[in-house]
Structure 1
Protein backbone atom coordinates (compact mmCIF):
# COMPACT_ATOMS: atom_id res chain seq x y z
CA UNK A 1 0.00 0.00 0.00
CA UNK A 2 1.28 3.46 -0.91
CA UNK A 3 1.51 5.82 2.04
CA UNK A 4 1.41 9.59 2.18
CA UNK A 5 4.97 9.46 3.51
CA UNK A 6 6.03 7.51 0.38
CA UNK A 7 4.72 10.35 -1.75
CA UNK A 8 6.00 13.18 0.45
CA UNK A 9 9.51 11.71 0.54
CA UNK A 10 9.90 12.34 -3.19
CA UNK A 11 9.48 16.02 -4.14
CA UNK A 12 9.45 15.19 -7.87
CA UNK A 13 6.48 12.86 -7.36
CA UNK A 14 4.71 15.51 -5.26
CA UNK A 15 5.22 17.94 -8.15
CA UNK A 16 4.03 15.45 -10.80
CA UNK A 17 0.90 14.66 -8.83
CA UNK A 18 0.23 18.38 -8.45
CA UNK A 19 0.64 18.94 -12.19
CA UNK A 20 -0.54 17.50 -14.47
CA UNK A 21 -2.74 15.30 -12.23
CA UNK A 22 -4.16 18.13 -10.07
CA UNK A 23 -3.74 16.15 -6.84
CA UNK A 24 -1.81 18.56 -4.63
CA UNK A 25 -0.65 17.48 -1.20
CA UNK A 26 0.41 21.07 -0.63
CA UNK A 27 -3.22 22.18 -1.06
CA UNK A 28 -4.40 19.91 1.76
CA UNK A 29 -5.93 22.78 3.69
CA UNK A 30 -5.71 22.75 7.45
CA UNK A 31 -9.00 24.68 7.64
CA UNK A 32 -11.49 21.88 8.17
CA UNK A 33 -14.17 23.90 9.96
CA UNK A 34 -16.38 23.86 6.87
CA UNK A 35 -16.31 20.07 6.55
CA UNK A 36 -19.16 18.20 8.19
CA UNK A 37 -19.50 14.59 7.12
CA UNK A 38 -22.73 12.65 7.08
CA UNK A 39 -22.63 10.21 8.67
CA UNK A 40 -20.15 11.66 11.10
CA UNK A 41 -16.65 10.22 10.59
CA UNK A 42 -13.20 11.31 11.56
CA UNK A 43 -11.31 12.49 8.49
CA UNK A 44 -8.07 13.84 7.08
CA UNK A 45 -7.73 16.10 4.05
CA UNK A 46 -5.01 14.40 2.03
CA UNK A 47 -4.89 16.74 -0.97
CA UNK A 48 -6.58 19.57 -2.77
CA UNK A 49 -6.94 20.60 -6.39
CA UNK A 50 -6.77 23.79 -8.42
CA UNK A 51 -10.54 24.32 -8.34
CA UNK A 52 -10.80 24.39 -4.54
CA UNK A 53 -11.88 20.76 -4.25
CA UNK A 54 -10.46 18.49 -1.56
CA UNK A 55 -9.70 14.79 -1.26
CA UNK A 56 -10.75 13.50 2.15
CA UNK A 57 -9.76 10.17 3.73
CA UNK A 58 -12.55 9.27 6.12
CA UNK A 59 -13.06 6.67 8.83
CA UNK A 60 -10.75 5.08 11.40
CA UNK A 61 -7.17 4.12 10.63
CA UNK A 62 -4.23 5.34 8.62
CA UNK A 63 -5.35 7.86 5.96
CA UNK A 64 -3.87 5.83 3.10
CA UNK A 65 -6.01 2.80 4.01
CA UNK A 66 -9.30 4.73 4.17
CA UNK A 67 -11.85 5.51 1.46
CA UNK A 68 -11.25 8.74 -0.46
CA UNK A 69 -14.10 11.23 -0.73
CA UNK A 70 -13.79 14.08 -3.22
CA UNK A 71 -15.68 17.30 -2.40
CA UNK A 72 -15.91 20.14 -4.89
CA UNK A 73 -16.09 23.81 -4.03
CA UNK A 74 -19.45 23.88 -5.87
CA UNK A 75 -21.29 21.50 -3.56
CA UNK A 76 -20.78 18.00 -4.98
CA UNK A 77 -19.14 15.10 -3.18
CA UNK A 78 -18.65 11.40 -3.58
CA UNK A 79 -16.39 8.49 -2.85
CA UNK A 80 -13.83 8.12 -5.64
CA UNK A 81 -11.63 5.32 -4.29
CA UNK A 82 -11.48 2.70 -1.58
CA UNK A 83 -7.97 3.82 -0.53
CA UNK A 84 -5.04 5.99 -1.59
CA UNK A 85 -3.36 3.31 -3.72
CA UNK A 86 -6.54 2.74 -5.70
CA UNK A 87 -6.97 6.50 -6.14
CA UNK A 88 -3.45 6.85 -7.55
CA UNK A 89 -4.13 3.94 -9.91
CA UNK A 90 -7.28 5.69 -11.15
CA UNK A 91 -5.45 8.99 -11.58
CA UNK A 92 -2.76 7.30 -13.67
CA UNK A 93 -5.31 5.46 -15.82
CA UNK A 94 -7.97 8.17 -16.24
CA UNK A 95 -6.55 11.60 -15.36
CA UNK A 96 -9.71 13.05 -16.94
CA UNK A 97 -11.92 11.38 -14.32
CA UNK A 98 -13.82 14.63 -13.64
CA UNK A 99 -14.96 14.75 -17.26
CA UNK A 100 -16.12 11.14 -17.07
CA UNK A 101 -18.33 12.09 -14.15
CA UNK A 102 -19.49 15.30 -15.85
CA UNK A 103 -20.49 13.44 -19.02
CA UNK A 104 -21.99 10.45 -17.24
CA UNK A 105 -25.67 10.97 -18.04
CA UNK A 106 -26.45 10.89 -14.31
CA UNK A 107 -24.11 8.02 -13.53
CA UNK A 108 -24.56 5.73 -16.55
CA UNK A 109 -21.48 3.51 -17.01
CA UNK A 110 -21.92 3.18 -20.77
CA UNK A 111 -22.20 6.94 -21.13
CA UNK A 112 -18.95 7.31 -19.21
CA UNK A 113 -17.32 4.80 -21.56
CA UNK A 114 -18.49 6.84 -24.57
CA UNK A 115 -16.60 9.84 -23.19
CA UNK A 116 -13.27 8.00 -22.88
CA UNK A 117 -12.11 8.22 -26.53
CA UNK A 118 -12.89 11.93 -26.68
CA UNK A 119 -10.96 12.59 -23.48
CA UNK A 120 -8.05 10.39 -24.59
CA UNK A 121 -7.82 12.49 -27.75
CA UNK A 122 -8.02 15.79 -25.86
CA UNK A 123 -5.42 14.71 -23.33
CA UNK A 124 -3.04 13.53 -26.05
CA UNK A 125 -3.29 16.98 -27.65
CA UNK A 126 -3.63 19.34 -24.69
CA UNK A 127 -1.81 17.55 -21.87
CA UNK A 128 1.35 16.21 -23.45
CA UNK A 129 3.08 16.26 -20.05
CA UNK A 130 0.85 13.45 -18.70
CA UNK A 131 2.77 10.46 -20.18
CA UNK A 132 6.16 11.51 -18.77
CA UNK A 133 4.71 12.39 -15.35
CA UNK A 134 2.80 9.09 -15.29
CA UNK A 135 5.97 7.16 -16.11
CA UNK A 136 7.95 8.88 -13.36
CA UNK A 137 5.22 8.20 -10.79
CA UNK A 138 4.81 4.57 -11.87
CA UNK A 139 8.59 4.04 -11.67
CA UNK A 140 8.78 5.44 -8.13
CA UNK A 141 5.59 4.20 -6.48
CA UNK A 142 4.02 0.73 -6.46
CA UNK A 143 0.84 1.95 -8.16
CA UNK A 144 -1.39 -1.08 -8.74
CA UNK A 145 -2.69 -1.91 -12.18
CA UNK A 146 -6.45 -1.64 -12.60
CA UNK A 147 -8.22 -3.58 -15.32
CA UNK A 148 -11.26 -1.32 -15.70
CA UNK A 149 -10.70 2.10 -14.11
CA UNK A 150 -13.94 3.55 -15.50
CA UNK A 151 -15.93 0.74 -13.84
CA UNK A 152 -14.06 1.23 -10.56
CA UNK A 153 -14.73 4.98 -10.53
CA UNK A 154 -18.37 4.40 -11.45
CA UNK A 155 -18.81 1.79 -8.72
CA UNK A 156 -17.09 3.95 -6.09
CA UNK A 157 -19.21 7.02 -6.78
CA UNK A 158 -22.39 4.93 -6.83
CA UNK A 159 -21.40 3.33 -3.51
CA UNK A 160 -20.81 6.65 -1.79
CA UNK A 161 -21.57 6.06 1.88
CA UNK A 162 -20.50 9.45 3.17
CA UNK A 163 -20.98 13.02 1.99
CA UNK A 164 -20.30 16.58 3.04
CA UNK A 165 -23.05 18.67 4.58
CA UNK A 166 -23.00 22.43 4.07
CA UNK A 167 -23.36 24.88 6.93
CA UNK A 168 -27.03 25.33 6.00
CA UNK A 169 -27.64 21.60 6.54
CA UNK A 170 -27.93 20.64 2.86
CA UNK A 171 -26.04 17.54 1.79
CA UNK A 172 -23.68 17.91 -1.15
CA UNK A 173 -24.98 16.57 -4.46
CA UNK A 174 -23.55 13.57 -6.30
CA UNK A 175 -20.43 13.87 -8.44
CA UNK A 176 -22.37 12.48 -11.39
CA UNK A 177 -23.69 15.10 -13.80
CA UNK A 178 -26.44 14.84 -16.39
CA UNK A 179 -24.40 15.70 -19.49
CA UNK A 180 -23.84 13.06 -22.17
CA UNK A 181 -20.99 12.88 -24.66
CA UNK A 182 -23.45 13.82 -27.44
CA UNK A 183 -24.06 17.13 -25.62
CA UNK A 184 -20.55 18.31 -26.49
CA UNK A 185 -20.66 19.72 -30.03
CA UNK A 186 -16.90 19.15 -30.44
CA UNK A 187 -17.35 15.41 -29.95
CA UNK A 188 -19.64 14.68 -32.87
Structure 2
Protein backbone atom coordinates (compact mmCIF):
# COMPACT_ATOMS: atom_id res chain seq x y z
CA UNK A 1 0.00 0.00 0.00
CA UNK A 2 1.27 3.44 -0.92
CA UNK A 3 0.72 6.06 1.76
CA UNK A 4 0.43 9.83 1.56
CA UNK A 5 3.68 9.94 3.52
CA UNK A 6 5.34 7.89 0.76
CA UNK A 7 4.16 10.41 -1.83
CA UNK A 8 5.21 13.41 0.24
CA UNK A 9 8.80 12.16 0.61
CA UNK A 10 9.52 13.58 -2.85
CA UNK A 11 8.63 17.13 -3.81
CA UNK A 12 9.11 16.12 -7.45
CA UNK A 13 6.43 13.43 -7.11
CA UNK A 14 4.06 15.87 -5.40
CA UNK A 15 4.65 18.39 -8.21
CA UNK A 16 4.25 15.76 -10.96
CA UNK A 17 0.99 14.55 -9.47
CA UNK A 18 -0.21 18.15 -9.32
CA UNK A 19 0.79 18.75 -12.95
CA UNK A 20 0.23 17.13 -15.38
CA UNK A 21 -2.02 14.70 -13.46
CA UNK A 22 -4.12 17.36 -11.64
CA UNK A 23 -4.06 15.44 -8.34
CA UNK A 24 -2.92 18.17 -5.96
CA UNK A 25 -2.15 17.19 -2.37
CA UNK A 26 -1.80 20.88 -1.51
CA UNK A 27 -5.43 21.48 -2.50
CA UNK A 28 -6.54 18.98 0.14
CA UNK A 29 -6.40 21.90 2.54
CA UNK A 30 -8.94 23.96 0.56
CA UNK A 31 -12.33 24.76 2.08
CA UNK A 32 -14.27 21.55 2.66
CA UNK A 33 -17.24 22.90 4.61
CA UNK A 34 -19.47 22.26 1.60
CA UNK A 35 -18.86 18.50 1.71
CA UNK A 36 -21.55 16.26 3.22
CA UNK A 37 -21.73 12.58 2.39
CA UNK A 38 -24.68 10.23 2.11
CA UNK A 39 -24.61 7.96 3.95
CA UNK A 40 -22.88 9.96 6.64
CA UNK A 41 -19.41 8.50 7.01
CA UNK A 42 -16.10 9.97 8.13
CA UNK A 43 -13.90 11.27 5.33
CA UNK A 44 -10.56 12.93 4.72
CA UNK A 45 -9.84 15.12 1.73
CA UNK A 46 -6.74 13.61 0.12
CA UNK A 47 -6.29 15.92 -2.86
CA UNK A 48 -7.98 18.44 -5.07
CA UNK A 49 -7.90 19.71 -8.63
CA UNK A 50 -7.53 23.13 -10.16
CA UNK A 51 -11.29 23.43 -10.61
CA UNK A 52 -12.21 23.07 -6.94
CA UNK A 53 -12.77 19.35 -7.10
CA UNK A 54 -12.05 17.04 -4.17
CA UNK A 55 -10.78 13.49 -3.79
CA UNK A 56 -11.99 12.01 -0.51
CA UNK A 57 -10.94 8.87 1.33
CA UNK A 58 -14.10 7.78 3.12
CA UNK A 59 -15.10 5.21 5.71
CA UNK A 60 -13.35 3.83 8.77
CA UNK A 61 -9.82 2.49 8.75
CA UNK A 62 -6.37 3.54 7.63
CA UNK A 63 -6.60 6.28 5.04
CA UNK A 64 -4.60 4.34 2.44
CA UNK A 65 -7.03 1.41 2.60
CA UNK A 66 -10.21 3.46 2.18
CA UNK A 67 -12.07 3.95 -1.10
CA UNK A 68 -11.64 7.26 -2.92
CA UNK A 69 -14.59 9.40 -3.88
CA UNK A 70 -14.29 12.09 -6.54
CA UNK A 71 -16.59 15.12 -6.18
CA UNK A 72 -16.78 17.59 -9.06
CA UNK A 73 -17.71 21.24 -9.09
CA UNK A 74 -20.50 20.35 -11.56
CA UNK A 75 -22.52 18.33 -9.05
CA UNK A 76 -21.23 14.83 -9.73
CA UNK A 77 -19.59 12.37 -7.38
CA UNK A 78 -18.60 8.75 -7.32
CA UNK A 79 -16.08 6.21 -6.20
CA UNK A 80 -13.03 6.11 -8.47
CA UNK A 81 -10.84 3.58 -6.63
CA UNK A 82 -10.90 1.10 -3.78
CA UNK A 83 -7.80 2.70 -2.24
CA UNK A 84 -5.02 5.22 -2.87
CA UNK A 85 -2.67 2.71 -4.53
CA UNK A 86 -5.33 1.63 -6.99
CA UNK A 87 -6.13 5.27 -7.75
CA UNK A 88 -2.50 6.02 -8.54
CA UNK A 89 -2.42 2.98 -10.83
CA UNK A 90 -5.52 4.21 -12.69
CA UNK A 91 -4.13 7.74 -12.88
CA UNK A 92 -0.81 6.58 -14.34
CA UNK A 93 -2.50 4.30 -16.89
CA UNK A 94 -5.33 6.58 -18.03
CA UNK A 95 -4.59 10.20 -17.06
CA UNK A 96 -7.57 11.16 -19.23
CA UNK A 97 -9.93 9.23 -16.94
CA UNK A 98 -12.29 12.26 -16.67
CA UNK A 99 -12.88 12.12 -20.43
CA UNK A 100 -13.57 8.39 -20.23
CA UNK A 101 -16.37 9.13 -17.78
CA UNK A 102 -17.60 12.17 -19.67
CA UNK A 103 -17.89 10.23 -22.94
CA UNK A 104 -19.20 7.00 -21.38
CA UNK A 105 -22.81 6.98 -22.64
CA UNK A 106 -24.08 6.67 -19.05
CA UNK A 107 -21.40 4.17 -18.01
CA UNK A 108 -20.98 1.88 -21.00
CA UNK A 109 -17.59 0.17 -20.82
CA UNK A 110 -17.29 -0.30 -24.58
CA UNK A 111 -17.95 3.42 -25.08
CA UNK A 112 -15.23 4.25 -22.55
CA UNK A 113 -12.82 2.04 -24.50
CA UNK A 114 -13.70 3.85 -27.76
CA UNK A 115 -13.07 7.19 -26.06
CA UNK A 116 -9.70 5.94 -24.81
CA UNK A 117 -8.46 5.46 -28.39
CA UNK A 118 -9.09 9.13 -29.15
CA UNK A 119 -7.79 10.36 -25.82
CA UNK A 120 -4.50 8.48 -26.17
CA UNK A 121 -3.80 10.44 -29.34
CA UNK A 122 -4.87 13.75 -27.81
CA UNK A 123 -2.76 13.26 -24.69
CA UNK A 124 0.33 12.48 -26.73
CA UNK A 125 -0.12 15.76 -28.59
CA UNK A 126 -1.55 18.05 -25.91
CA UNK A 127 0.26 16.79 -22.80
CA UNK A 128 3.83 15.97 -23.82
CA UNK A 129 5.02 16.13 -20.20
CA UNK A 130 2.88 13.14 -19.09
CA UNK A 131 5.37 10.38 -20.07
CA UNK A 132 8.30 11.95 -18.19
CA UNK A 133 6.17 12.74 -15.14
CA UNK A 134 4.76 9.19 -15.16
CA UNK A 135 8.28 7.73 -15.39
CA UNK A 136 9.51 9.83 -12.44
CA UNK A 137 6.53 8.84 -10.31
CA UNK A 138 6.79 5.15 -11.20
CA UNK A 139 10.53 5.12 -10.39
CA UNK A 140 9.82 6.24 -6.81
CA UNK A 141 6.44 4.74 -5.92
CA UNK A 142 5.62 1.01 -6.18
CA UNK A 143 2.52 1.58 -8.32
CA UNK A 144 1.15 -1.68 -9.72
CA UNK A 145 0.24 -2.04 -13.38
CA UNK A 146 -3.44 -2.78 -13.84
CA UNK A 147 -4.36 -5.33 -16.48
CA UNK A 148 -7.43 -3.31 -17.49
CA UNK A 149 -7.48 0.14 -15.84
CA UNK A 150 -10.54 1.27 -17.80
CA UNK A 151 -12.55 -1.68 -16.53
CA UNK A 152 -11.31 -1.04 -12.97
CA UNK A 153 -12.42 2.61 -13.17
CA UNK A 154 -15.74 1.56 -14.71
CA UNK A 155 -16.38 -1.01 -11.96
CA UNK A 156 -15.50 1.46 -9.22
CA UNK A 157 -17.86 4.15 -10.46
CA UNK A 158 -20.64 1.58 -10.84
CA UNK A 159 -19.96 0.44 -7.27
CA UNK A 160 -20.39 3.95 -5.85
CA UNK A 161 -21.83 3.56 -2.37
CA UNK A 162 -21.48 7.11 -1.10
CA UNK A 163 -22.36 10.46 -2.70
CA UNK A 164 -21.97 14.13 -1.93
CA UNK A 165 -24.98 16.12 -0.80
CA UNK A 166 -25.04 19.86 -1.57
CA UNK A 167 -25.94 22.40 1.09
CA UNK A 168 -29.44 22.73 -0.41
CA UNK A 169 -29.97 18.95 -0.15
CA UNK A 170 -29.27 18.19 -3.83
CA UNK A 171 -27.72 14.75 -4.22
CA UNK A 172 -24.79 14.80 -6.63
CA UNK A 173 -25.26 12.74 -9.78
CA UNK A 174 -23.09 9.98 -11.21
CA UNK A 175 -19.64 10.61 -12.64
CA UNK A 176 -20.83 8.84 -15.78
CA UNK A 177 -22.10 11.27 -18.39
CA UNK A 178 -24.46 10.83 -21.34
CA UNK A 179 -22.04 11.77 -24.11
CA UNK A 180 -20.54 9.27 -26.57
CA UNK A 181 -17.27 9.50 -28.45
CA UNK A 182 -19.28 10.05 -31.64
CA UNK A 183 -20.66 13.27 -30.09
CA UNK A 184 -17.21 14.84 -30.43
CA UNK A 185 -16.94 16.01 -34.07
CA UNK A 186 -13.13 15.96 -34.02
CA UNK A 187 -13.14 12.23 -33.21
CA UNK A 188 -14.87 11.04 -36.36
Which bracket does the TM-score occupy, shorter chain normalised? over 0.9
Give the 3-state SS of the residue equivalent to 1:44 in structure 2: strand
Aligned equivalents of 1:168, 1:120: Cα separation in 2: 39
Aligned equivalents of 2:90, 2:108: Cα separation in 1: 18
The alpha-carbon deviation at position 31 of structure 1 amounts to 2.6
Partner of residue 154, structure 1: 154
The alpha-carbon deviation at position 46 of structure 1 amounts to 0.2
Q: How many residues align?
A: 188
The alpha-carbon deviation at position 119 of structure 1 amounts to 0.2
The alpha-carbon deviation at position 59 of structure 1 amounts to 0.4
The alpha-carbon deviation at position 29 of structure 1 amounts to 2.7
Unaligned runs of 5+ in 2: none
Unaligned runs of 5+ in 1: none
Partner of residue 106, structure 2: 106
Residue 187, structure 1, aligned to residue 187, structure 2: yes
Q: For each residue in 1:37-80, what CA deviation from the matched residue of structure 2 results, as whole angstroms up to 9, or x when unmatched?
A: 00010000000001111000000112111000000011100000
Aligned equivalents of 1:127, 1:69: Cα separation in 2: 25
Aligned equivalents of 1:52, 1:17: Cα separation in 2: 16
> Could you state the TM-score of these two structures normalised by the residue count of structure 1?
0.99
Aligned equivalents of 1:154, 1:173: Cα separation in 2: 15
- Runs of 4+ in structure 1 off by over 6 angstroms are none
Aligned equivalents of 1:116, 1:73: Cα separation in 2: 23
Give the 3-state SS of the residue equivalent to 1:5 in structure 2: helix
